[in-house]
Chain A
Amino acid sequence: MSDVAVRVDHVSKSFRLYHERNQTIKSAIMRGRTSVHEDFWALKDVTFDVPRGSTFGLIGSNGSGKSTLLKCLANIYFPNKGTITHFGRIAAMLEVGSGFHTELSGRENIFLNGSILGMSKKEITSKFDEIIEFSGVEKFIDQPVKNYSSGMYVRLGFAIAINVDPDILVVDEVLAVGDAEFQEKCFQKFRDFRKAGKTVILVSHSMGAVEEMCDQAAWINQGELMAVGDAESTIQAYKDSLPRLTEE
């Protein structure tokens, strides 16, 4: 085992920008082609290592490629060039509660969602109480989730995902959910994670959260890696690059 949790090696990812896309057979035949497109490189030759046991923040402006990179890390997208190597079990939390069946109860959904996230039945059973406790919905656990408030829904989803107990946890902007109390609970959970020597990779627009949580960070702009390393200096570099709106 090395001290690297994830190795991102010369990763490039392009998307097709469609000028014309014929998604029906009729139009494909009439136009004699399925699409006209040009490639848009969302990530250009990005290379960095995420050290084991660190909390790693990805920062950058909107449309800079953060989420694309995150999806590549989560095995949802596959890079056109380069490789991403994980050292350990990875779990991704890009959206909480995806895969819930609204007619099924919270209890049934814990098992369903847990298995989608890669937990075995035994693991889910052993973590069941912890999940319910963390989510704070024990009173409603046998109700169909369609009757849940949006906060409860998200809390249950988050509680399942965080109990997958991965070596590497990939988190998208999901911290912006729940009330202040629940957010504090989440931050606490992340701290526990770090103490246990696990790696957290997160994307956030809230510089405050990144500053507070992360010890390492990477700054991505227009698909290119601008800076990587110590969180404080990376965030400072990012902030310096922004137009000075708050100076006066």
Chain B
Amino acid sequence: MRYLREVVAARELLFNLVSREIKGKYKRTVFGQLWSLANPLALMIIYSFVFGLIFRSNPHPGDPSGLNVFALWLLCGLLPWIFFSAVLTLGTGSLVANAGLIQKVYFTRIVLPLSIVGSSAYNWLFEMGVLVIALSIAGAFVLPWIPLVVVIMVMLALFASGIALMLSVANVYFRDTEYFLTIITQIWMYLTPIIYPISLVESASKDVGGLLGTSITLIDIYRLNPMEHFVLVFRQVLYDNRWPDGIEMLICLGWSLVSIIIGTLIFRRNERNLAEAL
């Protein structure tokens, strides 16, 4: 609790660091903040072409929204994923990137990875805003669901922060962490139903049956992935426009709390040694 107060006391610093990230990032570019849309748009076009058109990954139409647009269905899962992987990648490097600062000035170190969460969340909000507009144009009645979307976004941000806090410390001791992570996030993304519907995994799992003679199926293991649950609830709210399953929300909440608590504890234990270890 005392630690929490310390973090709250540093909120102005956190705010300034976030705005440093945001302002510094697109400085001297012609398109500025629009660049943050470029990456999701490019991915959307590629995946829609490859998986929507060629492979015919055919998700169920939104129920009850009635939407049936692959690109929008994709974005409802892709945008949270892009945020998540940005927080992991940038957050992991945040302590090493600011080594000079850590060795010269005392301040609450946790604001460094958290500032990455803040600046990524800013981009994400911008992207989600555009998505909400696109969904509305396509005919989804998404506006009343926005508060719930924000709640889920906060949960995902907590989940991502916790992992980023752990990895940022790990990266101080083992610089491999960042490189390792780029591979892990790629694998992780394909293990999450972002570009294909989970129904494909379910039918594949049925074909295989119980693994190694047990009653555990492929889908049971597949669903251990926390991101699967986050993507699911995001789609239920944004694309289907309905209340997410309560149990799914609880699973997301559980993962985010476990992640942020463990992440903060690990960070706190190592915080004092950072200046020396860097």
Do A and B actually bind?
Answer: yes
Chain A contacts to B: CB under 8 angstroms: 15, 23-26, 28, 34, 71, 74-78, 92, 94-95, 98-99, 101, 103-104, 108, 111-112, 115-118, 120-121
Can you name 16 A-B residue pairings with CB atoms under 8 Å? A23-B173, A25-B180, A28-B174, A75-B106, A78-B272, A95-B104, A98-B104, A101-B20, A103-B24, A103-B27, A104-B24, A108-B20, A115-B16, A116-B105, A117-B107, A121-B12
Q: Which of B10-64 contact A (CB under 8 A)?
A: 12-13, 16-17, 20, 23-24, 27-28
Which of B23, B101, B175, B176 contacts A98 (CB under 8 A)? Answer: B101
Tell me whether A94 and B20 are in contact (CB under 8 A).
Answer: no
Q: Which of chain B's residues have a CB closer than 8 A to the CB of A71?
A: 275
Q: Which of B236-278 contact A (CB under 8 A)?
A: 272-273, 275-276
B103 at interface by CB-CB < 8 Å: yes
B100 at interface by CB-CB < 8 Å: yes
CA–CA, A5 to B276, complex, Å?
26
CA–CA, A115 to B108, complex, Å?
11
Residue of B nearest to A24 (CB): B176
CA–CA, A103 to B175, complex, Å?
27
Known interface pairs A23-B175, A98-B104, A121-B12; 13 further A-B residue pairs with C-beta atoms within 8 A, sorted by A's residue number: A25-B174, A25-B176, A25-B180, A71-B275, A75-B106, A98-B100, A98-B105, A103-B24, A103-B27, A111-B16, A112-B20, A116-B16, A116-B101
Q: How far is the CB of A153 from chain B (nearest CB, A)?
A: 14
Q: Which of chain A's residues have a CB closer than 8 A to the CB of B13?
A: 115-116, 118
Residues 173-185 of chain B, each 1 if its beta carbon lies under 8 Å from chain A, else 0: 1111000100000
Q: Which of chain A's residues have a CB closer than 8 A to the CB of B273?
A: 78
Q: Which of chain B's residues have a CB closer than 8 A to the CB of A118?
A: 13, 107
Asked whether A92 and B16 contact (CB < 8 A) given A25-B174, A28-B174, A104-B23, the answer is no
Q: Which of chain A's residues have a CB closer than 8 A to the CB of B102?
A: 76
CA–CA, A104 to B100, complex, Å?
18
Tell me whether B174 and A24 are in contact (CB under 8 A).
Answer: yes
Residue of A nearest to B103 (CB): A76
Residue of A nearest to B27 (CB): A103
CA–CA, A29 to B13, complex, Å?
39
Q: How far is the CB of B94 from chain A (nearest CB, A)?
A: 13
Chain B contacts to A: CB under 8 angstroms: 12-13, 16-17, 20, 23-24, 27-28, 100-107, 173-176, 180, 272-273, 275-276
Q: Which of chain B's residues have a CB closer than 8 A to the CB of A121?
A: 12
CA–CA, A23 to B170, complex, Å?
11
Q: Which of chain B's residues have a CB closer than 8 A to the CB of A103?
A: 23-24, 27-28
Asked whether A24 and B105 contact (CB < 8 A) given A15-B276, A71-B275, A112-B16, the answer is no
Tell me whether B106 and A92 are in contact (CB under 8 A).
Answer: yes
CA–CA, A182 to B139, complex, Å?
66
CA–CA, A184 to B180, complex, Å?
52
Residue of B nearest to A16 (CB): B276
Residue of B nearest to A75 (CB): B106
Residue of A nearest to B15 (CB): A115
Q: Which of chain A's residues have a CB closer than 8 A to the CB of B103?
A: 76
Residue of B nearest to A112 (CB): B16
Which of A25, A76, A108 contacts B23 (CB under 8 A)? Answer: A108
Residue of A nearest to B275 (CB): A76
Interface centre among B16, B101, B107 (most CB of A within 10 A): B16
Query: Which 7 pairs show the lowest CB-CB distances between chains A and B?
Result: A75-B106, A98-B104, A115-B13, A95-B104, A103-B27, A115-B16, A94-B104
Tell me whether A77 and B275 are in contact (CB under 8 A).
Answer: yes
Q: Which of chain B's residues have a CB closer than 8 A to the CB of A108?
A: 20, 23
CA–CA, A95 to B28, complex, Å?
28
Q: Which of chain A's residues have a CB closer than 8 A to the CB of B27?
A: 103-104
Q: How far is the CB of B33 from chain A (nearest CB, A)?
A: 15
Tell me whether A112 and B105 are in contact (CB under 8 A).
Answer: no
CA–CA, A98 to B27, complex, Å?
20
Tell me whether A104 and B20 are in contact (CB under 8 A).
Answer: yes
Tell me whether A94 and B105 are in contact (CB under 8 A).
Answer: yes
Q: Which of chain B's residues have a CB closer than 8 A to the CB of A92?
A: 104-106
Q: Which of chain B's residues have a CB closer than 8 A to the CB of A99?
A: 100-101, 104-105
Interface centre among B28, B175, B276 (most CB of A within 10 A): B276
Q: How far is the CB of A170 from chain B (nearest CB, A)?
A: 10
Q: Which of chain B's residues have a CB closer than 8 A to the CB of A94?
A: 104-105
Which of A15, A23, A117 contacts B105 (CB under 8 A)? Answer: A117
Q: How far is the CB of A32 from chain B (nearest CB, A)?
A: 15
Which of B12, B106, B176 contacts A76 (CB under 8 A)? Answer: B106
CA–CA, A116 to B180, complex, Å?
31
Tell me whether B174 and A23 are in contact (CB under 8 A).
Answer: yes
CA–CA, A120 to B28, complex, Å?
29
Asked whether A77 and B276 contact (CB < 8 A) given A92-B106, A98-B101, A112-B16, the answer is yes
Asked whether A76 and B104 contact (CB < 8 A) given A24-B174, A24-B176, A28-B174, the answer is yes
